[in-house]
Amino acid sequence: IAAIESAIAQAVASPTDATEATVQGVLQDFVKALETAPTADAAPSTRAVLRVLQADDITGPRLGETLERTIFLQGGIAARSVSAIQAIRARVKSLRVRVTSLIAFADDLGIATPSERHRPELGVMFPLSLVPEDLGAFHREMKQLNHHVGLLIELLEGTSQAVRLVGLDSDSWDVFIEVGAATAAGLAIAIERIVALYKSSFEIRLLKLQIEEKGLGPQAQQAADDRLREIVREEIESLKQILLDRSRIEDVGRRNELANGVQPALEYLADRLDRGVDFEVQMPLPSPEAGGTDAAPPHADTDRRALARQGAAVSQLVRHDKPVLSLPQSPSQPEGLTFTGTPSTQPS
């Protein structure tokens, strides 16, 4: 950041194409370095801590985005960019001091601090507007989450494991669950496809509204409804097969038993996303050069791309205040989570 600050000061003092190119070059090098920083694939629970520290915009790749916005405030390098960069540098220094103090405090108390990169995590973010006042209903919701995620963990990891909670966040009802690498990859693929399903379903609903406005009759409207149900059914079936193909269960009988629960689990994820719940998967993947038992598996590149796409897909998803997906009625439907009070983020 000091190098960027120095380059900007030079560009302000002597504004030429060469000095501006120097700023761009130093910034691009730094942004590239941030992409491989440990916070680049920080777990959802870690980012929740960074939000508490008001530091989520000055760590990992987001620091690069913050710097780029700050430097080019007016579409070019401005004199006030220097003071803005100095302010960011001061925040980073302050964060370093605070984190160092927290680690020293933990050491004094004998609390172990993580020495390795985080395990894969699934973050499930319930907006406060969706959380019922009746905690009994939310307890039942957590039991369903535990059941469906537990089933997918067993299917994809090959062994039955307890669903391990690794964190909670109080800004919204955010639940962070530790999962294995195989589960993280499978969930990333499912979430990305469900988001795409949500978008395509909404487009069909818009078409149905146009049909109604033009008065084309009930047959055309019914055709749109039928198509909605068909694409949801086909996509859930396709996703089910993808997850079954990734199963590590060797016992055929147990695999068949779990197969019966895959569709309800996928419908649960789709239904909750439809109601405004966010899902996020993070998984640190070792580089292919690592070698040994920690080397990236053959499908690591595919999984890495799926992880990147699902994160971007959820963050860019425009939510609507009414149901979009045509899901079948099932016991997975919540007793307490409704659409009441859910704000629409549809741009005006």
DSSP-assigned beta bridge partners for residue 313: none
Q: What strands, in cross-sheet order, belong to the sheet with 121-126?
A: 164-169, 173-178, 121-126, 278-282
The rounded distance, in Å, linking the Cα atoms of 84 and 151 is 49
End-to-end Cα distance, the chain: 37
pLDDT in tens, the chain (348 residues): 888 889 988 888 888 889 888 988 998 899 888 887 877 777 777 777 787 788 888 888 888 888 888 887 656 677 778 888 888 899 999 999 988 888 888 788 776 655 444 678 888 888 777 776 777 777 888 889 999 999 999 999 988 877 877 766 666 678 888 888 889 889 999 998 998 888 888 887 777 777 777 776 677 777 777 888 888 889 999 999 999 999 999 888 999 999 999 999 999 999 888 888 888 888 765 544 444 444 445 566 667 677 767 766 776 677 777 778 877 755 445 444 554 333 333 332
The rounded distance, in Å, linking the Cα atoms of 181 and 120 is 6
